[in-house]
């Protein structure tokens, strides 16, 4: 037993995934949707290994380096200047034009401030969008395997999720668009697409985006385009985006974040791009959830957008190098099957004979000290697979792979 946030939890420090269970919780009449929430298996494996000095933690999606100095300095400056007051609901006057300029340049078409709402992370942005769209009984169609938090936001709202798994054909992930729309019905409020994808690294091509947008327009279904890995793409400088093709009034809401492209995971800053007509509603939703993301953090965000291109280029080069390292190494392991990721910073691979990815991830953690996420965390389609985040120094990645080879490589 140990104490965590004042509550008694059971279980050991690692190797025991039961430790999240809260004992002697008071019996309150909490909502069924909340009682039914699934604990993320990514968090479970992280709990199992946290606190161990020998662990190379590759379970979460983040860089092992802190945010670059020029962004941290901007936050310090903003604090020194006294930017500690409530911000406007949809973003501070310094950040909104910076976002508009950034996106207009990136997508080669005007993206005006009235289409932007700043959020406290992409996670918060996704929750706001579900609050906007989903009534109990509605459904959202998800392209999977997918980062689990997206589905849970639908469930919190009392909605249903429908899963359309990507197909792995000739070593590449592919989306069957007919199957995607076969899953839609009169209660479908949105299609959730994450490209570049977590965990697969799938990058949706521009032609497929156009087909999906046309059909979504015709059926009045909102496309939620989670593009948080947009700049971390290894085919071209960035991934194709729905914002390249969407007209302002189109049913498209793009979710973005400072977390990945600028290594700002702990800052909790993101933004939504939506039709201008939704601005007032997004402002009210922000008001009633958080009343705006932290003021001085938003100032740092404006600096990241303005001065961050060289940093992004260097990050992308490092991740590309890491992707090549891991793809080359895993290609030689007979038990392992990997689809080469075109974007994001994950290797998602199947292990022959593995039918319980959580048990395998725990075995890997305990025997090698490498922390990877079980594929089942990303849905039933991910069972038998593992996800490893390669957003680390190349030398750290090599050490992790040396350790893994002992268990998964040919000599094992
Ligand atoms: C696909 C996807 N969307 C959204 C997020 C959330 O990002 P943020 O840190 O901005 O909440 C993540 C984080 O891993 C992610 O992988």
Q: Taking the model in full, what pTM does it have?
A: 0.93
- In the reported structure, the alpha carbon of residue 123 is separated from the centroid of ligand 1 by a whole-number distance in angstroms of 6
5 alpha carbon, distance to own chain's centre: 26
- In the reported structure, the alpha carbon of residue 220 is separated from the centroid of ligand 1 by a whole-number distance in angstroms of 26
- In the reported structure, the alpha carbon of residue 210 is separated from the centroid of ligand 1 by a whole-number distance in angstroms of 24
All domains of the chain in start order, with CATH: 30-60+311-408 (3.90.1150.10), 69-307 (3.40.640.10)
CA 197 – CA 201 distance, rounded (Å)? 5
For residue 188, give both structure tokens: 């479908």
- In the reported structure, the alpha carbon of residue 61 is separated from the centroid of ligand 1 by a whole-number distance in angstroms of 8
List the one residue out of 43, 60, 31, 55 whose CA is nearest residue 4. 43
DSSP-derived 3-state class of residue 69 = helix
Mutation pick for ligand 1 pocket among 46, 125, 259 (CB with most ligand atoms within 8 Å) = 259
The answer to whether 162 touches 193, Cβ cutoff 8 Å, is no
- In the reported structure, the alpha carbon of residue 285 is separated from the centroid of ligand 1 by a whole-number distance in angstroms of 20
* pLDDT tens track, the chain, 412 positions: 333 332 323 333 333 444 444 555 667 899 999 998 878 899 999 999 888 889 999 999 999 999 999 999 999 999 999 999 999 999 999 999 999 999 999 999 999 999 999 999 999 999 999 999 999 999 999 999 999 999 999 999 999 999 999 999 998 999 999 999 999 999 999 999 999 999 999 999 999 999 999 999 999 999 999 999 999 999 988 999 999 999 999 999 999 999 999 999 999 999 999 999 999 999 999 999 999 999 999 999 999 999 999 999 999 999 999 999 999 999 999 999 999 999 999 999 999 999 999 999 999 999 999 999 999 999 999 999 999 999 999 999 999 999 999 999 987 7
Which protein residue's CA is at the shortest distance from atom 1 of ligand 1?
A: 198
Tell which atom from ligand 1 comes closest to the C-alpha of 344.
Answer: 16
Tell which atom from ligand 1 comes closest to the C-alpha of 257.
Answer: 10
Instruction: Output the pLDDT for position 51.
Output: 83
Instruction: Output the pLDDT for position 50.
Output: 85
285 alpha carbon, distance to own chain's centre: 21
- Pocket residues: Cβ below 6 A from ligand 1: 61, 121-123, 147, 194, 198, 226, 228, 257, 259, 265, 270
Instruction: Output the pLDDT for position 259.
Output: 98
Place of tokens 């936001």: 153
CA 167 – CA 339 distance, rounded (Å)? 11
- In the reported structure, the alpha carbon of residue 166 is separated from the centroid of ligand 1 by a whole-number distance in angstroms of 19
Instruction: Output the pLDDT for position 25.
Output: 61
CA 319 – CA 64 distance, rounded (Å)? 12
DSSP-derived 3-state class of residue 407 = helix
């Amino acid at each position: 037993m140990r104490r965590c946030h004042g509550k008694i939890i059971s279980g050991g420090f690692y190797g025991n995934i039961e430790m999240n269970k809260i004992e002697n919780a008071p019996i309150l009449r909490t909502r069924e949707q909340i009682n039914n929430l699934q604990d993320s298996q990514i968090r479970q494996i992280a709990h199992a290994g946290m606190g161990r000095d020998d662990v190379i933690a590759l379970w979460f999606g983040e860089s092992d380096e802190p945010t670059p100095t020029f962004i941290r300095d901007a936050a310090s400056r903003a604090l020194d200047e006294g930017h500690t007051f409530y911000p406007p609901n949809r973003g501070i006057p310094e950040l909104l034009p910076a976002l508009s300029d950034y996106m207009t340049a990136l997508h080669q078409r005007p993206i005006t401030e009235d289409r932007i709402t700043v959020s406290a992370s992409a996670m918060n942005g996704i929750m706001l969008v579900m609050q906007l769209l989903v009534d109990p009984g509605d459904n959202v169609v998800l392209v999977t395997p997918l980062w689990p938090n997206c589905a849970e936001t639908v469930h919190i709202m009392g909605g249903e999720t429908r899963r359309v798994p990507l197909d792995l054909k000739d070593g590449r992930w592919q989306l069957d668009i007919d199957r995607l729309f076969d899953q839609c019905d009169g209660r479908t409020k949105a299609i959730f697409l994450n490209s570049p994808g977590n965990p697969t690294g799938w990058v949706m091509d521009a032609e497929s985006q156009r087909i999906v947008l046309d059909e979504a327009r015709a059926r009045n279904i909102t496309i939620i385009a989670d593009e948080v890995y947009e700049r971390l793409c290894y085919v071209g400088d960035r991934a194709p985006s729905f914002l390249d093709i969407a007209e302002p009034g189109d049913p498209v809401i793009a979710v973005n974040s400072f977390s990945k492209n600028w290594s700002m995971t702990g800052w909790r800053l993101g933004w939504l791009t939506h039709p201008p007509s939704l601005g007032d509603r997004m402002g009210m939703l922000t008001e009633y959830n958080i009343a705006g993301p932290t003021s001085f953090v938003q100032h740092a965000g404006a600096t990241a957008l303005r001065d961050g291109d060289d940093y992004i280029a260097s990050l992308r080069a490092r991740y590309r190098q890491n992707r090549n390292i891991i793809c080359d190494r895993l290609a030689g392991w007979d038990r392992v099957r990997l689809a080469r990721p075109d974007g994001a910073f994950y290797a998602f691979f199947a292990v022959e004979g593995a039918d319980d990815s959580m048990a395998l991830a725990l075995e890997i953690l305990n025997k090698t000290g490498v922390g990877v996420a079980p594929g089942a965390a990303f849905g039933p389609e991910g069972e038998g697979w593992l996800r490893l985040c390669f957003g680390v120094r190349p030398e750290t990645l090599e050490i992790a792979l040396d350790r893994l080879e002992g268990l998964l490589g040919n000599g094992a």
